[in-house]
């Protein structure tokens, strides 16, 4: 059996739900459907989840919420009416929302979690109702009944291990099951949401639990591209990616997938396919445990900005046992997570996401390092971008780094830092944020255009 997850744009309108229903009907192995809340219908539209958050915040302030609630009900109503569904389902959704805003507000996180989760929950009810209306045997199944048990961290639930055993009971049912994404229940029975975008997590957990042959993740693009289409014109599509490659690409700004979503599928060895609801015949991008690297040692190029780099030097630093550990201890004390800590002989840099530092905290951290570690010099460089060249096949070839650095040189981009070889999956370059688009284009041309094959420096298999 296959588990298929449909994102917000796939659930945004009657037109989209018809497409989704047709996709479900087209393959009888698509037995479990995980849905998001209705997303944007057009570029300036507001996602249902954001309407729900605004509604919840109004409730907590004691404001009149009639209009806000009505706007949400209307989103579902528009879909239901255009699908010629009976009023029954909209009455149910309306009643549900009225109950939720009356719920106990003592614990505001829990109150908000209940409202936010209703986006997916009512979307699932509506879609199951629609499937039934078209003659497809389908049931809405609540995550509690499905057995998705999570930690009691509102907005950041972690799946508990018993979930996978519980989910087995979803196998072999003679109908389509529609499960809302994004939330589970704590062992005490409280509804708790995953981090935002967590419908991907629900799909991945269920695919692992029922040992699916495939986890299909339907979005609104034909596939994952080798580079950001906003930076590179008409980039190539990726046919196959490994889990590790996907993880590194999504870390560095590929937003196709929720960052943690792949873990359950990864651990269970379930292949994942990213497909387009609007063009389901396109083959999509497969995410697999292993792929043939010979044709494409490089899988993709990603970039992400918002980093800063703290540089520290101290004569004979490398003789000082415990220096690195004490440096990291200061960051840990300050609740700062670092990304990388490349080091020279007598100097070391710490790369971190700069949104963790306000001016005051930055000054305190620099002062503490200077004083407590008695360093010779310390400085900080802001507005850095990380460019990642990702591909598990790269380690098999001599000359990848030569091609990559040549691309930077031709583009006139100064490389602030290279980190290669610590990861078996990626090569990382720090550049000034303003240089990042130029660098991505140059790398794309180097590795993915025809000209690349005529390069003076051919790759040599080791």
Give which of 119, 113, 116 is closest to 154, Cα–Cα: 113
The minimum distance between CB 158 and its own copies, in angstroms, equals 11
In the complex, what is the shortest distance from the CB of residue 66 to its own copies, in angstroms, rounded to a whole number?
Answer: 41
Nearer to its own copies, 132 or 250 (CB): 250
The minimum distance between CB 339 and its own copies, in angstroms, equals 6
Q: What is the smallest separation between the CB atom of 395 and its own copies, expressed in angstroms?
A: 9
CA–CA dist 202, 225 (Å, integer) = 24
- At closest approach, how far in Å is the CB of 421 from its own copies? 3
Residue 6 assigned to a binding site: yes
376 is in an annotated binding site: no
Q: How far is the CB of 329 from its own copies (least distance, A)?
A: 6
Six-digit token string for 278: 């609007």
Q: Please, what is the minimum distance in Å from the beta carbon of residue 138 to its own copies?
A: 34
Sign for the pseudo-dihedral over CA of 111, 113, 117, 119: positive
- Has 362 been labeled as part of a binding site? no
Q: How far is the CB of 307 from its own copies (least distance, A)?
A: 13
CA dihedral 193, 198, 201, 202 (to 10 degrees): 60
129 is in an annotated binding site: no
Separation of alpha carbons 303 and 297, rounded Å: 18
Strands 176-180 and 285-288: unpaired
Nearest CB to its own copies, comparing residues 211 and 347: 347
Beta carbon nearer to its own copies, 110 or 340: 340
Largest Cα span, the chain:
77
Asked whether residue 155 is marked as a ligand-binding residue, the answer is no
Token output for 154: 């509102």
Minimum distance of its own copies from residue 191's CB (angstroms): 24
Nearer to its own copies, 108 or 422 (CB): 422
What contacts 24+ positions apart, CB below 8 Å, involve 169-174? 170/32, 170/141, 170/146, 170/206, 170/209, 170/210, 171/1, 171/210, 171/211, 173/31, 173/139, 174/137
On whether 120 is known to bind a ligand per the annotation, the reply is yes
**Nearer to its own copies by C-beta: 115 or 407?**
407
Task: Identify which of residues 31 and 244 has a Cβ nearer to its own copies in the complex.
Answer: 244
Would the annotation count 7 as a binding residue? yes
Burial of 377 (0-12, 13-18, 19+ CB in 10 A): exposed
Contacts with its own copies, residue ranges (CB under 8 A): 244, 247-248, 251, 260, 263, 266-267, 311, 313, 315-316, 318-319, 321-322, 324-325, 328-329, 332, 335, 337-349, 398-399, 401-402, 404-406, 408-410, 412-428, 430, 456-457, 460, 462
Q: How far is the CB of 388 from its own copies (least distance, A)?
A: 8
Feature table: binding site for substrate: 49, 120
Feature table: binding site: 5-8, 49, 120, 219-220
Feature table: binding site for ATP: 5-8, 219-220
């Amino acid at each position: 059996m296959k588990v298929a997850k449909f994102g917000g744009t796939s659930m945004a309108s009657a037109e989209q739900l018809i497409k989704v229903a047709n996709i479900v009907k087209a393959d009888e192995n698509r037995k479990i459907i995980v849905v998001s809340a209705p997303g944007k219908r057009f570029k300036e539209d507001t996602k249902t989840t954001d309407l729900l958050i605004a509604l919840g915040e109004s409730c907590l302030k004691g404001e009149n919420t009639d209009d806000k609630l009505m706007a949400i009900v209307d989103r579902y109503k528009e879909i239901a009416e255009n699908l010629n569904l009976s009023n029954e389902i909209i009455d149910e959704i309306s009643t549900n929302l009225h109950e939720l805003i009356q719920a106990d507000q003592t614990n505001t996180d829990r109150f908000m979690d209940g409202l936010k989760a209703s986006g997916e929950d009512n979307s699932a009810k509506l879609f199951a109702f629609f499937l039934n209306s078209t003659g497809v045997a389908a049931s809405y199944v609540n995550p509690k009944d499905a057995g998705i048990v999570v930690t009691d961290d509102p907005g950041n639930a972690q799946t508990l291990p018993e979930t996978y055993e519980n989910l087995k009971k979803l196998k072999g049912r003679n109908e389509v099951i529609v499960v809302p994404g994004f939330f589970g229940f704590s062992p005490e029975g409280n509804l708790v949401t995953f981090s935002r975008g967590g419908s991907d997590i629900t799909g991945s957990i269920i695919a692992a639990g029922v040992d699916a042959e495939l986890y299909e993740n339907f979005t609104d693009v034909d596939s994952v591209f080798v580079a950001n289409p906003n930076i590179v014109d008409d980039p190539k599509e990726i046919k196959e990616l490994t889990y590790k490659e996907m993880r590194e690409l999504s870390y560095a700004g590929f937003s196709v997938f929720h960052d943690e979503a792949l873990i359950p599928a990864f651990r269970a060895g379930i292949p994942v396919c990213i497909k387009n609801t609007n063009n389901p015949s396109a083959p999509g991008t497969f995410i697999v445990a292993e792929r043939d690297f010979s044709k494409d040692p490089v899988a993709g190029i990603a970039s992400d900005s918002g980093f800063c780099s703290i540089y520290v030097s101290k004569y004979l630093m490398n003789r000082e046992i415990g220096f690195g550990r004490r440096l990291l201890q200061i960051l840990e004390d300050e609740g700062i997570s670092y990304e990388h800590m490349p080091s020279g002989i007598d100097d070391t840099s710490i790369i971190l996401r700069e949104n963790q530092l306000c001016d005051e905290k930055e000054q305190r951290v620099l002062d503490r390092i200077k004083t407590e570690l008695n360093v010779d010099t310390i400085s900080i460089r802001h507005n850095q971008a990380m460019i990642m060249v990702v591909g598990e096949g790269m380690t098999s070839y001599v000359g990848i780094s030569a091609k990559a650095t040549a691309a930077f040189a031709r583009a006139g981009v100064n490389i602030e830092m290279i980190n290669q070889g610590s990861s078996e999956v990626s090569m990382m370059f720090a550049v000034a944020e303003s240089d990042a688009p130029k660098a991505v284009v140059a790398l794309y041309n180097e590795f993915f255009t025809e000209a690349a094959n005529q390069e003076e420096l051919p790759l040599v298999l080791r």
